[in-house]
């Protein structure tokens, strides 16, 4: 179990709730975007930016920072909202998502926004980039770690498995990957479109240490990160986060149609009402 | 030319301890073994995984290392183009991509292994620099120069043995083309191992009183537009020569520039929208029209077009 107080966990829940509200209004304002995955990962992003990561929003290029690679770039609204609340840029900027001249590009674009380590969106590349970084960190005896966030459907990309083997060969124990196991993708459920079955067994067979958690339970999330950070683990670590796509908005939950979808004004209002009530009663 | 790369890489590695080489199961074939012997800790062999090759390299470069990512041109940039575009070019990470076995002279391996499109693939990418040296010495200089460059860069060279036509003192600078022979009637602009054939053609043309300028374009992007425009102005007729598809290669690059700035007739010698096949390099060059004779024919035609001949 973790050392986090009930009070702290409640604070984190409040931040995640705020981030979810931002996601809804950002995508509404933009007129397009990816709500389901973004909402589903709000708790994990909150844990990372507000507890786990060693980072300094005022010095985003600090060479000693932990690196956070978002491989499935389409859920960038959750990262943008987390970065804003962490202090990388003003929260008001969130409403410029996907607009001309904004740093909040439709998919993350390195150089456009502080805190974005790499350009992503084309799926299946992030873990390789994270491997390259972790290889350098390990070779040069650096303290910083590399966190790579991926979607489950990225497990259908060959490039991902090339990286999985690499991390094992070079025993990258400073690399912590997280898979958003929400079982949705564009065309349906992941298990229908192209089954991945047990990601746990697959990764274990490739030499990874694997933990499987409820991606909405802060105690489990924080506990898994604390464990994965322990360098006593000989190789790379994976956290499989079972999440509910669309989490927090009843009519979006577990519906693959919300992978990519615009949000109407009525839908936004309904969603925001639900989210506000959740935090009042939660 | 692979030896030039091998030696250039060792020298660059001696000069820069941050230089890392990433390869995909072709260490010997691309002659990285010398470097690997001297600097075993600075070589990563990640297996037959070309998409991983360039994406891992992007990650390494982002941590301040000087990375060379090496494979055959057909697989890198052939197989992993979008990964190069996203993780190297859009990110602007200074990865040095090495494409060996470029061109039809890859020979007996057949069409699948002959990269005839790699210049086109790399030339269209913003931020990417494209090098195509002409011989062993120039490959060595180009390798050393690209190691000092803090930008994404692609270098292609053939597998086959190529005569040495430059000297130790020949100038080399990324972005500069070299005039190897002066001439006023026509300019033969070539790249890679075809520069040698351009020279042979020019000598033979001398005997028919045609004075051909020979230009070696070892940097295809950014193109040395000054030298190209001067050639167009002085000679009014141009022949381009490359071991690559005519579509999208050196000839296209020159035509793009001149058509907007100083239009003159151009004939292009290269692969004409075809795949190759197995054979000795010389047999294939004969069949696919990469010969001295083909260059001379192109010169005759272009001179007629420019109403000079
Ligand atoms: C290489 C590549 N192919 C296709 C796409 C288009 N695309 C965007 S997201 C997606 C899959 C969505 O599934 P998942 O990654 O699990 O995301 P989730 O719906 O769970 O957010 C696809 C096919 C892409 N971005 N990259
Ligand atoms: Mg999914």
Distance from chain centroid for Cα B61:
23
Cβ B112 vs Cβ B69: under 8 Å: no
Measured between its terminal Cα atoms, the distance across chain A in Å is: 22
Determine how β-strand B178-181 pairs with β-strand B266-271. unpaired
Name every residue in A having a CB less than 8 A away from some CB of B: 63, 109-111, 117-122, 124-125, 128-137, 139, 158-159, 162-163, 165-166, 169-170
CB-based contact, B203 to chain A, within 8 Å: no
**Residue length of chain B:** 309
Every domain of chain B and the residues it spans: 2-156, 178-305
Residue of A nearest to B79 (CA): A159
Residue A1 lies in a domain: no
> Cβ separation of B59 and A122 shorter than 8 Å?
no
Q: What is the pLDDT, as a whole number, of residue A258?
A: 97
Q: Give the 3-state secondary structure of residue B128.
A: coil
> Cβ separation of B52 and A166 shorter than 8 Å?
yes
> How many angstroms separate the alpha carbon of residue A245 from the centre of ligand 2?
8
Q: What is the pLDDT, as a whole number, of residue A66?
A: 98
Cβ B129 vs Cβ B151: under 8 Å: yes
Residue A31 lies in a domain: yes
- The alpha-carbon gap from B281 to the nearest alpha carbon of chain A, in Å, equals 34
For the cut 80, the answer to whether the pLDDT of residue A186 exceeds it is yes
CB-based contact, B45 to chain A, within 8 Å: no
Residue of A nearest to B60 (CA): A132
* CATH code of the domain containing A230: 3.40.50.970
Return the ligand number nearest the Cα of A150. Answer: 1
DSSP A186: T
Q: What is the pLDDT, as a whole number, of residue A282?
A: 59
Nearest CA to ligand 1 atom 16: A153
Q: Which atom of ligand 1 is nearest to the CA of A73?
A: 25
Q: In angstroms, rounded to a whole number, what is the distance separating the alpha carbons of residues B183 and B205?
A: 11
Q: Which of A124, A129, A139 sits opposite B58 (nearest CB)?
A: A129
Residue of A nearest to B83 (CA): A125
**Exposure b/e, B99-111, CB count within 10 A at least 16 = b:** bbbbbbbbbeeee
- The alpha-carbon gap from B142 to the nearest alpha carbon of chain A, in Å, equals 25
Residue of A nearest to B88 (CA): A119
Q: What is the pLDDT, as a whole number, of residue B22?
A: 98
Cβ A159 vs Cβ A219: under 8 Å: no
What is the band of A230 on the pLDDT scale with cuts at 50, 70, 90? confident
Residue at token pair 């100038």: B171
Q: Which domain holds residue A15?
A: 6-280
The CATH classification of domain B2-156, taken from the options 3.40.50.150, 2.40.70.10, 1.10.3720.10, 3.40.50.970: 3.40.50.970
pLDDT in tens, A57-96: 999 999 999 999 999 999 999 999 999 999 999 999 999 9
Q: In angstroms, rounded to a whole number, what is the distance separating the alpha carbons of residues A207 and B206?
A: 67
Pocket test for ligand 1, best of A45, A151, A241 (most atoms within 8 A of CB): A151
Q: In angstroms, rounded to a whole number, what is the distance separating the alpha carbons of residues B151 and B130?
A: 11
Pocket test for ligand 1, best of A191, A254, A259 (most atoms within 8 A of CB): A259
Q: How many CB pairs under 8 A join A and B?
A: 92
**Residue length of chain A:** 282
pLDDT in tens, A14-65: 999 999 999 999 999 999 999 999 999 999 999 999 999 999 999 999 999 9
Cβ B46 vs Cβ B56: under 8 Å: yes
Q: What is the pLDDT, as a whole number, of residue A233?
A: 75
CB within 6 Å of ligand 1 — which residues? A 34, 36-37, 72, 74-75, 121-124, 151-154, 180, 182, 184-186, 245, 259
The average pLDDT across A234-258 equals 97
Q: What is the pLDDT, as a whole number, of residue A281?
A: 73
- The alpha-carbon gap from A67 to the nearest alpha carbon of chain B, in Å, equals 10
DSSP B115: B
- The alpha-carbon gap from A158 to the nearest alpha carbon of chain B, in Å, equals 9
The neighbouring-strand residues paired with B154 are B97, B130
Q: Which atom of ligand 1 is nearest to the CA of A72?
A: 15
Chain B contacts of A106, Cβ < 8 Å?
Answer: none
* Overall domain count for chain A: 1
The ipTM value here is 0.89
Q: In angstroms, rounded to a whole number, what is the distance separating the alpha carbons of residues A224 and A247?
A: 20
pLDDT in tens, chain B (309 residues): 999 999 999 999 999 999 999 999 999 999 999 999 999 999 999 999 999 999 999 999 999 999 999 999 999 999 999 999 999 999 999 999 999 999 999 998 999 999 999 999 999 999 999 999 999 999 999 999 999 999 999 999 999 889 999 999 999 999 999 999 999 999 999 999 999 999 999 999 999 999 999 999 999 999 999 999 999 999 999 999 999 999 999 999 999 999 999 999 999 999 999 999 999 999 999 999 999 999 999 999 999 999 765
Residue of A nearest to B46 (CA): A166
- Fold topology of B178-305: Rossmann fold (3.40.50)
**Intrachain domains B2-156 and B178-305 with the same fold:** yes
For chain A, the average pLDDT equals 96
- The alpha-carbon gap from A110 to the nearest alpha carbon of chain B, in Å, equals 6
């Amino acid at each position: 179990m973790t050392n986090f107080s009930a009070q702290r966990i409640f604070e984190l829940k409040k931040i995640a709730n705020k981030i979810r509200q931002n996601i809804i209004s950002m995508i509404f304002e933009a007129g397009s975007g990816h709500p389901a995955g973004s909402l589903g990962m709000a708790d994990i992003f909150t844990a990372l930016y507000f507890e786990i990561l060693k980072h300094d929003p005022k010095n985003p290029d600090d060479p000693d920072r932990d690196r956070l690679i978002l491989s499935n770039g389409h859920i960038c609204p959750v990262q943008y909202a987390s970065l804003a609340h962490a202090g990388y840029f003003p929260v008001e900027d969130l409403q410029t998502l996907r607009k001309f001249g904004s740093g909040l590009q439709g998919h993350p674009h390195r150089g456009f926004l502080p805190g974005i380590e790499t350009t992503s969106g084309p799926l299946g590349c992030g873990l390789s980039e994270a491997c390259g970084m972790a290889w350098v960190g390990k070779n040069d005896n650096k303290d910083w770690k590399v966190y790579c966030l991926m979607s489950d459907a990225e497990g259908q990309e060959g490039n991902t498995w090339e990286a999985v083997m690499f991390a094992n060969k070079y025993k990258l124990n400073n690399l912590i990957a997280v898979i958003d196991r929400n079982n949705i993708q564009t065309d349906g459920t992941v298990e229908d479109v192209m089954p991945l079955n047990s990601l746990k067994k697959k990764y274990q067979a490739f030499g990874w240490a694997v933990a499987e958690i409820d991606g909405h339970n802060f105690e489990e999330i924080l506990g898994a990160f604390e464990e994965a950070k322990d360098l006593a683990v000989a190789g790379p670590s994976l956290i499989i986060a079972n999440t509910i796509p669309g989490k927090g908005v009843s009519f979006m939950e577990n519906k693959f149609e919300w992978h990519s979808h615009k949000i109407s004004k009525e839908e936004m209002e309904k969603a925001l009402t639900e989210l506000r009530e959740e935090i009042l009663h939660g | 030319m692979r030896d030039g790369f091998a030696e250039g890489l060792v020298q660059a590695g001696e000069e820069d301890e941050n230089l890392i080489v990433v390869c995909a199961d072709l260490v010997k074939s691309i002659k990285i073994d010398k470097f690997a012997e001297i600097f075993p800790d600075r070589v990563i062999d990640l297996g037959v995984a070309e998409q991983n090759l360039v994406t891992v390299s992007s990650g390494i470069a982002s941590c301040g290392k000087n990375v060379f990512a090496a494979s055959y041109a057909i697989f890198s940039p052939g197989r992993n183009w979008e990964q190069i575009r996203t993780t190297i070019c859009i990110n602007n990470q200074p990865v040095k991509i090495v494409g060996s076995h470029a061109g039809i002279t890859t020979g007996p391996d057949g069409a699948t292994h002959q990269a005839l499109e790699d210049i086109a693939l790399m030339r269209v990418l913003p931020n990417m620099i494209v090098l195509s040296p002409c011989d062993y010495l120039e490959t060595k200089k180009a390798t050393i120069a690209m190691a000092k460059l803090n930008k994404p860069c692609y270098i292609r060279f053939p597998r086959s043995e190529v005569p040495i036509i430059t000297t130790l003192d020949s100038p080399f600078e990324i972005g500069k083309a070299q005039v190897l022979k002066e001439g006023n009637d026509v300019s033969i602009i070539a790249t890679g191992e075809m520069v040698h054939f351009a020279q042979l053609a020019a000598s033979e043309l001398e005997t028919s009183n045609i004075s051909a300028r020979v230009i070696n374009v070892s940097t295809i992007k950014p193109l040395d537009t000054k030298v190209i425009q001067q050639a167009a102005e002085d000679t009014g007729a141009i022949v381009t020569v490359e071991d690559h598809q005519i579509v999208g290669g050196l000839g296209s690059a020159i035509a793009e520039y001149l058509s907007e700035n100083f239009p003159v007739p151009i004939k292009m010698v290269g692969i004409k929208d075809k795949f190759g096949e197995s054979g000795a390099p010389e047999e294939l060059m004969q069949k696919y029209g990469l010969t001295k004779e083909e260059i001379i024919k192109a010169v005759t035609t272009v001179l007629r077009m420019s109403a000079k001949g």
